[in-house]
Amino acid sequence: MWACKLAFDMFHYKKDDLYEGVNDIITVGDFYKKSEGEGVHMLFI
């Protein structure tokens, strides 16, 4: 699970505010790169 960098910055969150299951804070561009490939289904919440 990844956190959205834009929301993270906009709401002035700190890494300590994140849920334990969050692996990293990434941009939308990073998200698209990580989800490249055939058969990928995206869920952006």
**3-state SS record for 4-22:** EHHHHHHCCCCHHHCCCCC
Q: Which has more confidence, 40 or 27? A: 27
> Are 21 and 1 contacting, i.e. CB atoms less than 8 angstroms apart?
yes
42, amino acid identity: M
* Residue that is written with structure tokens 């990293």 in the block: 24
* Residue that is written with structure tokens 């969150």 in the block: 13
Regarding pTM above 0.75, the answer is: no
Render pLDDT for 8-35 as a digit per residue (tens, 0 to 9).
Answer: 999 999 989 998 999 999 998 998 888 8
Distance of CA 45 to the CA centre of its chain: 10
> Taking the alpha carbons of 35, 40, 43, 44 in that order, is the dihedral positive or negative?
positive
Q: What pLDDT is recorded for position 25? A: 95
Q: What pLDDT is recorded for position 1? A: 86
Q: What pLDDT is recorded for position 22? A: 92
Q: What pLDDT is recorded for position 41? A: 76
